[in-house]
């Protein structure tokens, strides 16, 4: 009797689980080209100013996404908050000056600084050591027999971008490392492209305020400064085999900057599951872009407005499924990341500070550019494809599920070009999914391959999007997410990270 009841229980459970895998098609059809277009003309409008991380445009976009999540009934994905904030730093240059024997040289006219790498200081030295190209490695050492400890080092760059040192490309960080290793307190690198136009007093944004290593302050200097230090010897310095020499000159290097702490955020909308609600499916896209450069707005319609509005539409479709009593078994996190264009910052912050356990996260389905067509793709139907990236990297389940859902519903050409380990563009490593992959979470990255003339240019505008194709690609992601949110088992993690 006991065995019979146990068998009945097993059969009943299996039937119940099968019933929960409802037909997703009515809800996928809620994702329409018209709705995607409506959202994208807002997200990629001039009002959002290109959505650069830690700017007002990014904050406007975050508010738009948060309001959408609220309006469709998603819960906040970060405790009681829809946004997950992280700090961003940026340097602001107040002043910089170089004097040589009381002759004053001005910023941009005769020298340039790396605002982010250099630090506020006033350095005064009377001995300047010329050390060639500043190369110091196993095959060549320009510092051999030269004492630069506590001194300012003067180096020559490969003028005009030409390689003066055979077999090497100029690398300022290696130059700084070598100078620091030998004890230099500052580095002057001679270049020929002065004076320079512009007066940019803002450094690049960065995430870590406290550096593991502070290199010597480095100034790119004009030939005039080099001549003021070296006199007639400057002609010798241009020789590939120029010898080290110490010069007597009173050199003052002054730099003063402020470090500003800014803020950016990911936007998280959460849809709670049913019997497997402690497990998670993540659907992600980055909503930031490049912002403004002078008067030009980088709209980022495809990159990645297309992914952003797609997760808005998918979130609404899943929310309506839940309202109809056909919600997912697993919970779903709709994750809109910022900072992707800066270096995958938002997804890095989320995966380092996850609001839901990564070991309970079955998959990240990441969308970055699905609204355009790849003009370089010469095979198959150019209006019925999507590049699928990473489905072969961490789980043997992924490709089978992805192909099954596509065969059943969308019937697109799944192009695996960028799964090639020898892909020269390294697409697998270039979007937010990779931060999940590096933590062991299986991923799929959906991509249109658009790296043509509009990529990272102001011409990436919403009028150039193929909305019908974008809707079909978004539906493929939706169907795949539906399966992964409702199947009995989490995805296997049976392939080592590559």
- The topology (CATH level 3) of 91-260 is Glucose Oxidase; domain 1 (3.50.30)
Would you kindly state where each structural domain of the chain is located, as residue ranges?
Answer: 22-89+263-486, 91-260
Q: Which runs of E-coded beta strand occur in 287-323? A: 291-293, 296-298
Neighbour count for residue 269 (Cβ, 10 Å): 27
Could you list the pLDDT tens digit for every one of the 498 residues in the chain? 444 444 444 444 444 444 457 899 999 999 999 999 999 999 999 999 999 999 999 999 999 999 999 999 999 999 999 999 999 999 999 999 999 999 999 999 999 999 989 999 999 999 999 999 898 988 889 999 999 999 999 999 854 333 444 444 556 678 999 999 999 999 999 998 899 987 778 999 999 999 888 999 999 999 999 999 999 899 888 777 788 999 999 999 999 999 999 999 999 999 999 999 999 999 999 999 999 998 999 999 999 999 999 999 999 999 999 999 999 999 999 999 999 999 999 999 999 999 999 999 999 999 999 999 999 999 999 999 999 999 999 999 999 999 999 999 999 999 999 999 999 999 999 999 999 999 999 999 999 999 888 999 999 999 999 999 999 999 999 999 999 999 999 999 999 987
- DSSP H stretches of helix in 29-171: 33-43, 56-71
349-386 CB burial, b ≥16 within 10 A, e <16:
bbbeebbbebeebbbbbbbbbbbbbbeebeeeeeeebb
C-beta of residue 46 within 8 angstroms of C-beta of residue 256:
no
Which pLDDT value is given to residue 259? 95
For the beta carbon of residue 459, count every other beta carbon within 10 angstroms: 15
- 88 vs 55, 83, 231, 399, CA distance in Å? 11, 15, 44, 37
Q: How far is CA 81 from CA 33, 137, 266, in A?
A: 30, 51, 11
Indicate the helix (H) or strand (E) that contains 314.
helix 307-323
Q: Which residues pair with 98 in a beta bridge?
A: 105, 253
Cis peptide before 393 (omega within 30 of 0): no
Q: Supply 287's token pair.
A: 């909503």
**Per-position DSSP letters for 199-246, written without gaps between them:** ---BPPPBS-SS-S--PPEEEEE-HHHHHHHHGGGHHHHTSTTPPPEE
Query: Which among 372, 429, 436 has a CA at the least distance from the CA of 398?
Result: 436
- 312-333 residues labelled b (16+ CB within 10 A) or e (exposed): bbbbbbbbbbbeeebbbbbbbb
DSSP designation for 464: G
Superfamily of domain 22-89+263-486: Zn peptidases (3.40.630.10)
Nearest C-alpha neighbor of 366 from the set 395, 400, 391: 391
- Please state, in angstroms and rounded to a whole number, the distance separating the CA atoms of residues 115 and 219: 10
Cα–Cα–Cα angle for 130, 123, 117, rounded to 5 degrees: 85
Q: According to the 3-state scheme, what is the secondary structure of 39-67?
A: HHHHHCCHHHHHHECCCHHHHHHHHHHHH
For tokens 């931060």, the residue is 435
Looking at residue 151, what is its pLDDT?
97
Planar angle of CA 283, 456, 201, nearest 5 degrees: 110
Return the pLDDT at 57. 98
CA dist 247 and 375 (Å) reads 57
In degrees to the nearest 10, what's the CA dihedral of 456, 460, 465, 469? 0
Q: How far apart, in whole angstroms, are the C-alpha atoms of residue 304 and residue 315? A: 17
């Amino acid at each position: 009797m006991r065995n019979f009841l146990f068998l009945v229980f097993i059969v009943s459970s299996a039937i119940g689980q099968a019933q929960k895998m409802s037909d997703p098609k009515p809800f996928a059809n809620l994702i329409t080209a018209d709705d995607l277009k409506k959202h994208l003309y807002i997200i990629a409008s001039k009002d959002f100013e290109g959505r650069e991380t830690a700017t007002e445009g990014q904050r406007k976009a975050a508010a738009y996404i948060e309001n959408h999540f609220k309006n469709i009934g998603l819960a906040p994905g970060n405790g009681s908050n829809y946004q997950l904030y992280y700090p961003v730093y940026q340097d602001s240059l107040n002043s910089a000056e170089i004097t040589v024997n009381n002759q004053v040289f001005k910023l941009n006219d005769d020298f340039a600084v790396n605002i982010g790498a250099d630090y506020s200081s006033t350095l005064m030295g009377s001995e300047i050591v010329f050390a060639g190209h500043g190369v110091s490695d196993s095959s060549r050492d320009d510092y051999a027999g030269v004492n630069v400890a506590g001194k300012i080092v003067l180096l020559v760059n490969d003028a005009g971008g030409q390689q003066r040192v055979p077999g090497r490309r100029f690398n300022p960080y290696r130059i700084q490392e070598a100078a620091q290793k030998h004890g230099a307190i500052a580095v002057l690198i001679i270049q020929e492209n002065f004076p320079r136009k512009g007066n940019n007093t803002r450094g690049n944004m960065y995430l870590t305020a406290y550096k593991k290593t502070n290199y010597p302050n480095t100034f790119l200097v004009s030939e005039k400064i080099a001549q003021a230090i070296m006199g007639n010897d400057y002609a010798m310095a241009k020789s590939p085999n120029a010898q080290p020499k110490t010069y007597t000159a009173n050199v003052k290097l002054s730099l003063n900057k402020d470090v500003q702490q800014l803020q950016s955020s990911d936007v998280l909308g959460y849809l709670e599951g049913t019997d497997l609600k402690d497990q998670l499916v993540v659907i992600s896209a980055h909503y930031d872009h490049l912002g403004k450069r002078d008067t030009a707005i980088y709209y980022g319609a495809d990159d990645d407005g297309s992914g952003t509005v797609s997760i808005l539409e998918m979130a609404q479709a899943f929310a309506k499924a839940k309202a109809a009593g056909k919600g997912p078994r697993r919970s779903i996190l709709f994750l809109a990341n910022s900072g992707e264009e800066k270096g995958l910052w938002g997804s890095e912050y989320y995966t380092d500070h996850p609001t839901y356990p990564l070991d309970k996260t079955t998959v990240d389905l990441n969308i970055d550019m699905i609204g355009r067509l790849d003009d370089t793709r010469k095979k198959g139907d150019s209006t019925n494809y999507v590049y699928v990236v990473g489905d072969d990297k961490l789980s043997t389940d992924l490709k089978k599920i992805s192909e099954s859902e596509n065969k059943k519903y969308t019937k697109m050409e799944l192009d695996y070009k960028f799964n090639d380990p020898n892909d020269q563009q390294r697409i697998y490593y270039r979007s937010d999914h990779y931060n999940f992959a590096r933590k062991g979470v299986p991923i799929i990255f959906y991509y249109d391959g658009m790296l043509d003339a509009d990529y990272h240019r102001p011409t990436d505008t919403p009028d150039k999007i193929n909305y019908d194709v974008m809707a079909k690609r978004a539906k493929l992601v939706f169907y795949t997410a539906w399966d992964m949110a409702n199947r009995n088992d989490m995805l296997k993690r049976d392939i080592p990270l590559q």
